[in-house]
Amino acid sequence: MSLAKEITRIVKGKIKFNEPLSKHTSLRIGGPADYWVEPKDLEDLRVILEFALDRHLPWKVLGEGTNILARDRGFRGLIISLRGDCFQKLEFNEEKVAAGAGVLLSKLTSEAGERGLGGLEFAVGIPGTVGGGVVTNAGAQSVSVGDVTSSVKVLNPSRGISLLKKEDLKFDYGETVPFGYRTCNLGKDEVVLEAEMEFKKEDKDEIANLMKEHSRKRKETQPLREASAGCIFKNPSHVSAGELIDKAGLKGRRVGDAQVSTKHANFIINRGGAKAEEVFSLMETVREEVLRKMGIRLEPEIEIIG
Ligand SMILES: Cc1cc2nc3c(=O)[nH]c(=O)nc-3n(C[C@H](O)[C@H](O)[C@H](O)COP(=O)(O)OP(=O)(O)OC[C@H]3O[C@@H](n4cnc5c(N)ncnc54)[C@H](O)[C@@H]3O)c2cc1C
């Protein structure tokens, strides 16, 4: 029996074959994934992960694809998306919340704000899911998801479910290269199922005002109407990558439909039909020019898959 037939037989949730990753990344770039699965429930997720392990089938969980550059050739293997209802849990209990991995960070942020729970205001405007936010320790204004996370429930295909408490979790905020940069110490084969976060009771209006202010700043400084993956390069110590790229005179530089944003130099935007190869080529130009003119080597922040 072909792998496709076997997957169809064992999975209860949605399955797609040769699914273009350009439909699932905020850069709108990426060739097809052989198999795309949206597990119906936890058991479905467990079954497909065990299958992938057994068949040595490469797999990857994708959140909203907002920190991803997917190659033009696509992904040879299985992409798992936790969009199903089972991963959308959002349960508030006094100053805590248990949030499913598939919940949008924006939804969690606004619901916490409406309840007068402060702590996540920084996340306004950070796209993506709770799962992606934990894995990338998403943050802004020197605060990040790790600061409010008290535990994370994960599923490992060979070890089952475990609950990682605050003391087991290590979030890196790394403002500097080569130290860890926006990471969490989860293994590559661990799937985040849910995270518990703790907030502080605060004034609703103050939270709303702070969120408005963060949102205003983002709109002012980031090309939010264009397709992008946020910041492309990590910030080297004590200087922002955007500032270096700007000073190197690279704002607006294009390769095909990939362009260094004229609004924020550390964003590469897709002007419509950009290919991953064009983004790579533009990234290489930026790195070479910044190294030549500023003597600083930039490292990618986005994750490349495929
Ligand atoms: C306009 C824009 C602005 C941005 N601003 C910021 C910002 O201010 N600060 C910031 O930190 N980031 C920012 N980002 C980057 C991005 O939004 C974050 O990194 C976000 O947390 C990624 O979440 P995601 O769900 O899209 O994850 P994805 O991009 O889909 O995946 C990221 C990683 O997480 C893994 N992953 C996702 N879900 C799970 C899961 N359930 N279990 C295990 N692994 C999982 C993936 O395998 C991948 O390795 C921005 C991006 C854009 C497009």
pLDDT of residue 178: 43
Q: In terms of C-beta density within 10 A (0-12 exposed, 13-18 middle, 19 or more buried), how is residue 57 classed?
A: middle
Terminal-residue alpha carbon distance, the chain? 25
Q: In whole angstroms, give the CA distance from residue 53 to residue 159.
A: 12
Q: In whole angstroms, give the CA distance from residue 122 to residue 119.
A: 8
Ligand 1 center from residue 127 Cα (angstroms): 7
CB of 151 closer than 6 angstroms to any ligand 1 atom: no
Ligand 1 center from residue 83 Cα (angstroms): 15
pLDDT of residue 175: 54
pLDDT of residue 181: 64
Domain regions of the chain by residue span: 3-84, 88-221, 241-305
Buried b (16+ CB within 10 A) or exposed e, 22-55: bebbbbbbbbbbbbbbbbeeeebbbbbbebbeee
CB of 60 closer than 6 angstroms to any ligand 1 atom: yes
Domain 241-305 has CATH 2.40.50.100: no
Question: In the CATH hierarchy, which fold is given to the domain comprising 3-84?
Answer: 3.30.43
Ligand 1 center from residue 135 Cα (angstroms): 8
- Most informative mutation of 59, 126, 149, 266 for ligand 1 (most atoms within 8 A of CB): 126
CB of 67 closer than 6 angstroms to any ligand 1 atom: yes
CB of 82 closer than 6 angstroms to any ligand 1 atom: yes
Q: In whole angstroms, give the CA distance from residue 27 to residue 69.
A: 7
Ligand 1 center from residue 234 Cα (angstroms): 14
Neighbours of 282 (CB within 10 A): 21
Ligand 1 center from residue 1 Cα (angstroms): 36
Question: In the CATH hierarchy, which fold is given to the domain comprising 88-221?
Answer: 3.30.465
What are the per-10-residue average pLDDT scores of the chain (306 residues)? 94 98 98 98 97 97 98 98 96 98 97 97 96 94 92 95 94 58 85 98 97 96 97 90 97 98 98 98 98 96 96
pLDDT of residue 84: 94
